[in-house]
Structure formats: C-alpha cells, structure tokens
Amino acid sequence: MAARIKWSLLRLIRSQNTSPFRFPVKTAKLFHTQCIGQHPGKVQILPPVCPIRFAVRHLSIQTQDTPNPRSLKFLPGKPVLGEGTLDFPSLSSAECSSLARDLFEIEGVKSVFFGPDFITVTKADDDVEWTDIKHHSMEAITKFFESGEPITTGTRHHESSHSEDDDEIVSIIKELLDTRIRPTVMEDGGDIIFKGFENGTVKLKLVGSCTGCPSSTITLKNGIQNMLQFYVPEVDDVEQVEDEVDHVSTKVFSELERKLGDI
C-alpha cells in the first residue's frame, strides 16, 4: 500500500506542469554578449607543397547577472559539466580543475561554481569592482576551452541523487527538488543540494550564486518550504546548512580579509 501511495504521488508531481517553480523574489537578469579572441582572418595562400592554414580563434561568451550582486554567471556557449554541478568554495578545493584554479588566481575572486553549461564566479565583497574580474575571467575561460583540457579530473559526486535506501518522504522531497526547484536555481547560477531530513526539517545546502545571496532566506521560506509543505505534509521546516569544510573555509577567508584590512 505504501509503495502504491508513493508511486501515485510521484506520478501526480510529474504529470503536472513541469516548468520550473518560480520564486516570489526574482531579480531581473541582464544579458551582455561579449566576444574574446580574433575574428577569422584572411586565408594565407601558401606554396603548393604546404597545406592551406586557417587561423581561427573565436569564442562567444555571455555574462548574466544573478540575484546575488556578488556573483556573475558566464555562459561559454558550450557544455561545462554537461550535467550536475560542482562547487569550489576555496582554492584548496579546486585541485581537480585547472580552470577553477586559474579563476582563483584573479584578484578579488572568492569562489567558483560549475554548472551544466555555465560558470559562476563570486567576488569577495561589494567593494571589489566587476570590471577587471569580468575581463580576466573571460580571458581565462576562453584560454581554457581553446586548450581542449578536461573540465575536471577524477569523479564527480551528485549528492542529491536518488538512492535505494531513501524512504518514501525523502524520495518525494528529492523528486520535487530535482524537477521543480533546482532548474530555476540553476538559471540564477547556483544550486540546492539535499543534505537530509530529520524530525520534520529538510536540510539544504546552497551553493554557487545562492551562497551569501541577500534573498536566499526568502527563497528558502517563501519558495522552497511552501512548495514542499504543499506536497509533503510531514515537512515542518526548511533549514540551510553548511559542510564543516565550508564553515572552516569561510572562517579562514573572513580572518584573511580582516588582516588585509588592518594593513
């Protein structure tokens, strides 16, 4: 009987409008199209013994504002991860990606985030201007894609993927997150990762542009919590959590900012 109820509820969720859930607070997005690289040059006619060479270096990159004024979304016009997301909250976490390491080398960059087809760069604070960060980030992204290197090395883990050990409530919560909520959050350059369900409380980790976003609390309470409670009466609350490594990284970065400010 329990399995039949679970299956019926999942069918109800999937049968309804599958368009991403829209949160009540939405910052307007501004798209800027910029190109870096050389325009196709003229073909140089070489002697018959040599092949004809075409020198073409061109990559179109769009930048998109996010609800977080400290985060900017870069769209290179080609797959980044292809699927899933990967968060780099600090330089020490970027060992598996040369692109992430290059972006951290840019002065003022605090964190980097990879999505299926986008890259989110978050700056340290509001006093840091976007002009130089944006320019150097586009240069680093262009250079990386021209190199042909893999975006990451090693295995990527999808923390919110479904498991056979999930009970009925957890399965429905994950289904709602994956089909109704995460697509919209990714449009804003971030992601929400399921971390657990205990005593009626859903624990979620906000990454990418969602980290430190002024509207994240409103998004959690007025958006995600209301939707989950509508479908899953057992949900009493939604809580934002951090991994221990993220907490330590934030503390270390804050201490570094304080020391630099004293200089």
The domain segmentation of the chain, as residue ranges, is 2-14+159-245, 31-38+56-147
CA distance linking residue 187 with residue 23, whole number of Å: 12
Q: In CATH terms, is domain 31-38+56-147 a member of 3.40.50.300?
A: no
CA distance linking residue 253 with residue 75, whole number of Å: 27
Q: What is the pLDDT of residues 154-163, one digit of tens each?
A: 655 555 566 7
User: Sorting pLDDT into bands at 50, 70 and 90, what band is 30?
Assistant: very low
The more confident residue out of 184 and 251 is: 184
Q: What is the pLDDT of residues 118-141, one digit of tens each?
A: 999 999 988 888 999 999 999 999
**Residue 250 pLDDT greater than 80, yes or no:** no
Position 37 scores a pLDDT of 42
The more confident residue out of 35 and 17 is: 17
Q: What is the pLDDT of residues 206-240, one digit of tens each?
A: 999 888 777 777 777 778 899 999 999 999 999 98
Q: What is the pLDDT of residues 105-122, one digit of tens each?
A: 999 999 999 999 999 999
CA distance linking residue 1 with residue 87, whole number of Å: 40
The yes-or-no answer to whether 2-14+159-245 and 31-38+56-147 have a common fold is: no
Q: Please tell me whether the overall predicted TM-score, pTM, comes out greater than 0.85 for this model.
A: no
CA distance linking residue 8 with residue 59, whole number of Å: 47
Position 171 scores a pLDDT of 92
Superfamily of segment(s) 2-14+159-245: Fe-S cluster assembly (FSCA) (3.30.300.130)
